[in-house]
Structure 1
Amino acid sequence: MSGNALVAERPLAGTAGNASTPVADGLAVLGRHLQRIKAAPGVLILTQTMPITMLLFFGYVFGSALAVPGQEYRAFLVPGLLAATAANGIMTGMFQSAQDCHRGVMDRFRTLPMSRSAVPFGQTAADLLTTAVGMIPLILAGLAVGWRIEGGPAAALGAFGLLLLFRFATAWVGCWLGLLIRSEEAAGQLGSATFILPLLSSAYIPTGNLPGWLRTLAEWNPISAVAAATRDLFGNAAPAADAAWPVSHPVAGSLLWSAALLALAVPLSVRRYARGGE
C-alpha cells in the first residue's frame, strides 16, 4: 500500500463525537496533509527546487542579455521568483485536491462528522506552512548570487507576509479547481500550464518595453502586483509611476487581489467539496 493511502486511512483526531469543532477539524486535516507530505515529499521537493533552478538559469544564462534600468538583473529576479512561488499555490492546490477526489479520499471525509470547511482549509493551511519553510532555500540562494534586502526589517517582514497571503489565496483557487476537475491526470496536465502565468507578468522581466496590449495584460496580472510590492518592500526597486494601478500601488494592489481571490475561491471550494461529485 502506498504512503498516501496509509496516511488517508489513518483516523483524524477531532472528528468523533460532539467535541468536534470547525477549528479542531481543520487542524486535524492540516495534520493529515503534513503527514502526507512527509510520506511522499516528491511534489514538495520539485516545487521548491524549481525556483532555485530558474534563478540560476535566468540569472546566469539570460542575465547578461536582460537589462533592468538602474538595477542588477539577479536583484530584480529574486523577488519575482518569490512572487511566482506564491502563485504556484494554484498548481499544488489543484493537484492535491484532484488527487484526493480521484482516489476517493474526499468521499471518505464527507462520511465523517466534521465541518465542510475543514478539508479545504486543512489543505490550504498545510500548503501555507510548507511554503513558508520552502521559501528559505530560495532566499539563501538569492543572497548567495548577490541579492540583498535593502529595506528595513519591518518592510521585509511585510513582504514575506504579503507573499504568504497571496500563496494562501492561490492555494484556495487551486483547491477549487482540483475539486472541480476531480481527475489526478487532468490536474497534473493543467497544473503544468499554469507555468505560463508568471511569464505573462513582471516576475522575470520589466513590462515597460512590452507592446501596449501585452503590457496591459502583464500589469493587470496579480503576480505583477505581488512582484512589484515585494521589490518595493525589500528596497530593491520603487514602483513604476506610469504603470497600471495595481503595479504603481503594488502593496494595495496585492492586498486587493488576494482578498478578491479569497472571497471568490473560499466559498466556491467549500460548496464544491460539500456537493461531492454531483
Structure 2
Amino acid sequence: MSTMAYTTDPAATAAITRRRTGLAKSTATVTRRALLRYVRTPQLIVMATVQMSMFFLIYRYLFGGAIHIAGMPYVDFLVPGFIATGVLFSGIGAAVATAEAVHEGFVDRLRSLPIPRSSVLTARAIADTAILTLASAVTIAIAYAVGFRLHGSALDGLAGFGLVIVFGFAFEWVFVTMGLFAGNGQVAQGMGMIVFPFAFISSAYIPVATMPSWLRVFAEHQPLTYMVDSVRALTLGPHAEALLGHPTSYFLTRALIWTVAIIAVFLPLAVAKYRRG
C-alpha cells in the first residue's frame, strides 16, 4: 500500500490570494462608483421608488375590490407577489443601463483597465440590487399604510424581504446579460418585455387555480411562482400551509434551486460576452 504526499506551492497560493483580493477590491471600487452615480443623479432613485410604489397602489385599489382571495384580504395576498415581481420590472432598467454603457464605449474603457472582468459586471448587479432594496422597502412601508399586515413573526418578515433581495440579485444577471447582447438601450428595453409573461402568468396577482388548465401548468412550475409563494408563505406565518396548500419549505427549496440555477447560467454567460466584446 502506498501513500501520496500533497504539497502546497506557496507561490501558487499567494497568486490565488492576490487574485481573490483583486477581485473583491475591484468589485467594491466599481460598485462604489455605480452607487455614487445614483447619489449624484437622485432622479434615478426617485423614479425607481415612485414607479414601484405607484404601480402597487394601482393594483391595490384597482383590483383590490374585484379579486377575492379565500382566507385573507387581497392586500395581504398582493404585497408578497408585487414585491417579488418588482425585481423583474426594475431589472429592465439594468438591461437598458448596461446596453447604453456598451453603446457609449464605457464598457470598452473598462476592458482596458487591469481589473478582473467579472468585477465590473458584479458591481453592476450589486448596485442595481441596492436600488431595488430601497424601492422595495419604501413600497412595503406604503403597503403597511394601506392595510397590509404581516401574519408571521418579525424574523419571518425579514427573511421574506431577504429572499426578495436574493431573487433580485439573481435576475440582475439575466438583465445584465440582456444588455450586453442588446448593444443599445432601445433594443434592451424591447428584450426586457419578455419578463411580462413570467410576471403575470404566475401566482403574483391571482391564484393559479383560477387559470385555465393549460396555462396553470406553466404558472405552477415557473420560477417566479415559487419565489412569490416562498415570500408569501413567510408573511402568512402559521396560516401558510392551509392557505397555499404546501408548507413553506416546499416553496423555499424550489425557489432557491431556481435562484442558484439562474446565477449559474447567466453569470458565466454575461462574463463570457463581456470578454468577447
Identify the TM-score tier after normalising by the shorter chain: 0.7 to 0.9
Q: Which amino acid aligns with 1:34?
A: L
Instruction: Name the amino acid aligned to 2:198.
Output: L
Counterpart of 2:240 in 1: which secondary structure?
coil
Give the deviation of 1:191 after TM superposition: 2.6
1:159 matches 2:133: no
Task: Please state how far the C-alpha of 1:196 moved relative to its aligned partner.
Answer: 4.0
In structure 2, the residue matched to 1:48 is 49
Match of 1:9 in 2: none
Whose radius of gyration is greater, 1 or 2? Answer: 2
CA drift of 1:28 comes to: 1.1
2:245 maps to amino acid: A
Aligned to 2:137: 136
**2:245 matches 1:241:** yes
Unaligned runs of 5+ residues in structure 2 are 1-18
> What residue number does 1:12 align with?
none
- Structure 1 residues 1-278: aligned runs within 5 Å: 21-235=22-236, 238-239=240-241, 240-241=244-245, 249-276=250-277
Q: Distance in 1 between the 2:229 and 2:54 partners? A: 22
**Whole-Å separation in 2 of the counterparts to 1:115 and 1:136:** 32
SS at match of 1:146: coil
Note closer, same or farther for the CA distance 1:207–1:256 as it changes in structure 2 (3 Å cut): same
User: Cα deviation per residue 1:210-254 (whole Å; 9 max; x = unaligned)?
Assistant: 111111111222221111111111126625338xx9x98211111
**Count of residues in correspondence between the two structures:** 256
Does the 8 A contact of 2:178 with 2:191 survive in 1? no
User: Which structure shows the higher helix fraction?
Assistant: 2
Give, in angstroms, the shift of residue 263 of structure 1.
0.5
Once the two structures are TM-superposed, the CA of residue 64 in structure 1 deviates from its matched residue by 1.2
Corresponding residue number in structure 2 for 1:7 = none
How far did residue 158 of structure 1 move? Answer: 1.4
Q: Unpaired segments of 5 or more residues in structure 1?
A: 1-17
Q: Post-superposition shift, 1:256?
A: 0.7
Secondary structure at the residue paired with 2:151? coil
Query: What amino acid is the match of 1:28?
Result: T
Shift of 1:170: 0.1
Q: CA deviation at 1:56?
A: 1.7
Task: Provide TM-score, normalisation by structure 1.
Answer: 0.85
Aligned-partner Cα distance in 1 for 2:196–2:43: 18
TM-score, normalisation: structure 2:
0.85
CA contact (8 A) 1:98 1:178 kept: yes
Q: What's the RMSD between the two structures over aligned residues?
A: 2.2
Quick one: percent identity of the two aligned structures?
30
Residues 1:99 and 1:153: Cα distance change in structure 2 (over 3 Å): same
Q: CA deviation at 1:153?
A: 2.2
Query: Is residue 101–residue 182 contact of structure 1 (8 Å, CA) maintained in 2?
Result: yes
CA drift of 1:270 comes to 1.0
**Structure 1 position 43, deviation (Å):** 4.2
Deviation per CA, 1:176-216: give whole Å up to 9, x if none. 11111111111123334534431111111111111111111
